[in-house]
């Protein structure tokens, strides 16, 4: 009660403080990031390794166990789970809440490289990914396009890598740009068996040369068979084909160009998707968590338009997924429905109290509460998304209750009580203070168990709990400290006018 009495005695100081904080909080609307979902990455990394043709027992002994020993050396590891099957191994590493996943992902990549060099021939490079709950995976999408044209899939991919991928990675907020389809061009060495035999080369010489090109790690493809021409694909970085043609093969040092045809070619895809009878390549764009979805989407579209300005004839882009447009539609729906709700509740307040001033007071305090909540979310590094908006929506109804209860009690004491206006307002707030305090603290207390849930469940409930709890607390403070001061000033002005 002392705090309420102080606000009634110093209304100018209260209004100045509230207005200053309100302006700062309202400015958060312009800078807070807007997303469809909250950052949904778990403190978990997954390693996927493929070894085509190897049995589950072989994969476990040569791949899974060494990788398990490797990840145990990382900091903040809480558990390691692995699953091994024929030709594939997957390891899930969970970390505690203090772990910096970005740094751990970089460290894991650095540690995997020397271990991979010791793995058997045929093991593919481990793929490291972050874990996202399946329920939030659909909400975490961003943008995807298909590049199509009257070209081979490999040529489309080459254009996408050279022009589109580089342009998009330069956009602020873009984390990764992945291409699917149209496998990258590979170096093809088509060995003429007859020419190799005539030059005095044996199949062992060709096999040794293959290991030389691949650094002794992986097979280049089908080994040369005497008397026939075999294609050997190689994904190494030999950009100068003339240099490769002069490379010596075997003990007799025959130049490779004398026994083989060397050229770049696109490998066959496992699957292809065509658009209007034309080949296509999927471009999937991923942004960093917490980056404004709408602003980043606009920047990406501008970069795409610039990259496609002088594209060869017959090559075009078609949109497959745009969560920015989905978010704009959802925000428009929320805005329209909120506006109708405001009109409906305002009509009820006007009908009940027969005063426009009552409506303005109640809705002014509610808007102030929402501004404070958004400002707090921004300071906490959170975003406006479906979960935080859900919490604010529930808290919005409770804010109306708090303001209406305080206004009604104060108004009754002003019209029927005795003593000065300040004493009557103080009595009106005192009559509802304890039940309001108990109900609001009960609501906030019911949200506290959310912070003791598992890290996975906190992804769903923590944003809602924080937004709802902040709205409820701000609503209680504004209703009990600011609203009575506003009503006192209005009452004094009415008496002066009378």
- Identify the pLDDT of residue 473: 92
Q: Rounded to whole angstroms, how far apart are CA atoms 149 and 274?
A: 9
Same-domain status, 10 and 48? no
Q: What angle, rounded to 10 degrees, do the helices at 455-477 and 386-416 form?
A: 20
Same-domain status, 68 and 14? no
What CATH number does the domain containing 102 carry?
Answer: 3.30.70.1430
Give the rounded percent of residues in the chain with a pLDDT score beyond 70: 83
pLDDT digits (tens, 9 = 90+) for 13-72: 888 888 888 888 878 877 787 776 666 556 788 888 988 878 888 899 999 999 999 998
Does residue 205 belong to any structural domain of this protein? yes
- Identify the pLDDT of residue 247: 81
Q: Rounded to whole angstroms, how far apart are CA atoms 415 and 433?
A: 19
Does residue 342 belong to any structural domain of this protein? no
- Identify the pLDDT of residue 64: 92
Same-domain status, 491 and 362? yes
Same-domain status, 18 and 74? no
Same-domain status, 108 and 82? yes
Q: Rounded to whole angstroms, how far apart are CA atoms 120 and 58?
A: 10
- Identify the pLDDT of residue 224: 41
Domain coverage including residue 423: 2-31+355-497
- Identify the pLDDT of residue 451: 80
Environment class of 27 (CB within 10 Å of its CB; exposed 0-12, middle 13-18, buried 19+):
middle
Write the DSSP assignment of 238-254 as a string of letters: ---HHHHHT-EETTTTE
Pull the structure tokens for residue 126.
Answer: 């481990």
Does residue 432 belong to any structural domain of this protein? yes
Last residue of a domain, one of 93, 108, 131: 131
Taking a C-beta distance cutoff of 8 angstroms, is the pair 431, 409 a contact?
yes
Those residues whose C-beta lies under 8 Å from the C-beta of residue 385, and which sit 6 or more positions away, are 34, 35, 36, 37, 38, 463
What CATH number does the domain containing 428 carry?
Answer: 1.20.1640.10
Does residue 288 belong to any structural domain of this protein? no
- Identify the pLDDT of residue 180: 81
Same-domain status, 370 and 476? yes
Instruction: Name the one residue in this structure whose structure tokens are 């925000």.
Output: 331
- The answer, as to whether pTM is greater than 0.75, is no
Q: How far is CA 300 from each of CA 42, 165, 316, 322, 423, rounded to the nearest angstrom? A: 26, 11, 16, 11, 60
- Identify the pLDDT of residue 455: 65
Last residue of a domain, one of 84, 104, 131: 131
Cα 406 to chain center, whole Å? 41
Same-domain status, 364 and 454? yes
Q: How far is CA 412 from each of CA 403, 406, 421, rounded to the nearest angstrom? A: 14, 10, 12
Does residue 276 belong to any structural domain of this protein? no
Q: What are the phi and psi torsion angles at 177 (to 5°)?
A: -130, 115
Q: Rounded to whole angstroms, how far apart are CA atoms 352 and 379?
A: 38
- Identify the pLDDT of residue 235: 46
Environment class of 326 (CB within 10 Å of its CB; exposed 0-12, middle 13-18, buried 19+):
middle
Same-domain status, 396 and 450? yes
Q: What are the phi and psi torsion angles at 188 (to 5°)?
A: -110, 125
Same-domain status, 390 and 460? yes
Does residue 152 belong to any structural domain of this protein? no
Q: How far is CA 205 from each of CA 29, 123, 208, 210, 236, rounded to the nearest angstrom? A: 69, 24, 5, 9, 20
Same-domain status, 121 and 192? no
Same-domain status, 373 and 491? yes
Which has the closest alpha carbon to 143: 274, 303, 280? 303
Taking a C-beta distance cutoff of 8 angstroms, is the pair 433, 1 a contact?
yes
Q: Rounded to whole angstroms, how far apart are CA atoms 275 and 281?
A: 10
Does residue 26 belong to any structural domain of this protein? yes
**What does the CA dihedral 326, 331, 336, 337 come to, rounded to 10 degrees?**
100
Q: Which residues of the chain have pLDDT under 70?
A: 36-42, 97, 131-141, 183-187, 211-240, 265-275, 289-290, 334-335, 338, 342, 417, 454-457, 459, 497-498
pLDDT digits (tens, 9 = 90+) for 472-498: 999 999 888 888 888 888 877 777 765
Q: How far is CA 147 from each of CA 24, 298, 307, 360, rounded to the nearest angstrom? A: 45, 19, 12, 54
Q: How many CB atoms lie within 10 A of CB 396?
A: 21
Q: Rounded to whole angstroms, how far apart are CA atoms 391 and 469?
A: 8
Last residue of a domain, one of 247, 265, 283: 265
- Identify the pLDDT of residue 84: 92
- Identify the pLDDT of residue 40: 55
Q: What are the phi and psi torsion angles at 438 (to 5°)?
A: -65, -45
For the chain, the domain total comes to 3
Which has the closest alpha carbon to 207: 187, 184, 225? 225
- Identify the pLDDT of residue 199: 82
**CB under 8 A, 24+ apart: contacts of 163-170:** 163/307, 163/308, 163/311, 164/283, 164/304, 164/307, 164/308, 165/283, 167/303, 167/304, 167/306, 167/307, 168/283, 168/285, 168/300, 168/303, 168/304, 168/307, 170/303
DSSP for residue 72: T
**What does the CA dihedral 109, 114, 116, 119 come to, rounded to 10 degrees?**
-160
Does residue 310 belong to any structural domain of this protein? no
Pairing of strands 174-180, 316-322: unpaired
Same-domain status, 55 and 25? no
Q: How many CB atoms lie within 10 A of CB 459?
A: 21
């Amino acid at each position: 009660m002392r705090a309420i009495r102080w606000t009634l005695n110093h209304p100018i100081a209260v209004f100045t403080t509230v207005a200053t904080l309100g302006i700062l909080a309202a400015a958060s609307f312009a800078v807070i990031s807007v997303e469809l979902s909250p950052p949904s990455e778990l403190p978990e990394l997954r390693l996927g390794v493929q070894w085509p043709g190897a049995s589950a027992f072989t994969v476990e002994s040569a791949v899974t166990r060494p990788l398990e020993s490797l990840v145990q050396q990382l900091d903040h590891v809480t558990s390691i789970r692995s699953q091994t099957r024929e030709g594939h191994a997957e390891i899930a590493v969970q970390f505690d809440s203090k772990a910096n996943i970005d740094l751990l992902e970089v460290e894991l990549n650095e540690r995997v490289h020397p271990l991979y060099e010791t793995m058997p021939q045929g093991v593919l490079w481990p793929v490291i990914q972050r874990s996202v709950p399946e329920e939030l995976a659909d909400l975490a999408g961003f943008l995807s396009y298909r590049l199509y044209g009257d070209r081979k899939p490999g040529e489309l991919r080459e254009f996408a890598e050279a022009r589109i991928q580089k342009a998009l990675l330069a956009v602020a907020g873009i984390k990764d740009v992945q291409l699917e389809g149209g496998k990258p061009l590979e170096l093809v060495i088509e060995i003429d068996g007859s020419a190799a035999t005539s030059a005095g080369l044996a199949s062992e010489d060709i096999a040794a040369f293959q290991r030389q090109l691949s650094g002794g790690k992986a097979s280049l493809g089908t080994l040369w068979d005497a008397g026939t021409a075999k294609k050997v694909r190689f994904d190494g970085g030999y950009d100068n084909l003339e240099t490769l043609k002069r490379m010596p093969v075997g003990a007799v040092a025959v130049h490779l160009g004398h026994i083989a045809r060397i050229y770049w070619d696109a490998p066959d895809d496992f699957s292809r998707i065509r658009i209007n009878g034309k080949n296509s390549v999927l471009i999937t764009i991923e942004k960093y968590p917490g980056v404004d979805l709408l602003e980043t989407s606009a920047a990406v579209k501008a970069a795409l338009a610039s990259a496609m300005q002088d594209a060869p004839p017959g090559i075009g882009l078609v949109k497959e997924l745009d969560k920015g447009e989905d978010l704009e539609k959802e925000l428009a729906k929320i805005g329209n429905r909120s506006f109708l709700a405001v009109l409906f509740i305002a009509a009820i307040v006007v009908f009940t109290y027969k005063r426009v001033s009552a409506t303005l007071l109640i809705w002014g305090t509610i808007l102030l509460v929402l501004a404070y909540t958004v400002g707090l979310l921004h300071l906490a590094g959170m975003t406006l998304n479906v979960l935080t908006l859900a919490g604010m929506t529930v808290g919005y109804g409770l804010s109306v209750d708090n303001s209406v209860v305080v206004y009604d009690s104060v108004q009754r004491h002003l019209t029927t009580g005795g003593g000065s206006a300040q004493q009557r307002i103080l009595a009106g707030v005192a009559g509802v203070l304890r039940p309001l305090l108990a109900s609001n603290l009960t609501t906030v207390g019911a949200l506290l168990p959310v912070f003791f849930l598992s890290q996975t469940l906190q992804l769903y409930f923590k944003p809602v709990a924080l937004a709802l709890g902040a709205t409820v607390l701000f609503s209680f403070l504004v209703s009990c400290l600011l609203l009575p001061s506003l009503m006192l000033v209005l009452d004094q002005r009415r008496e002066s006018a009378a």
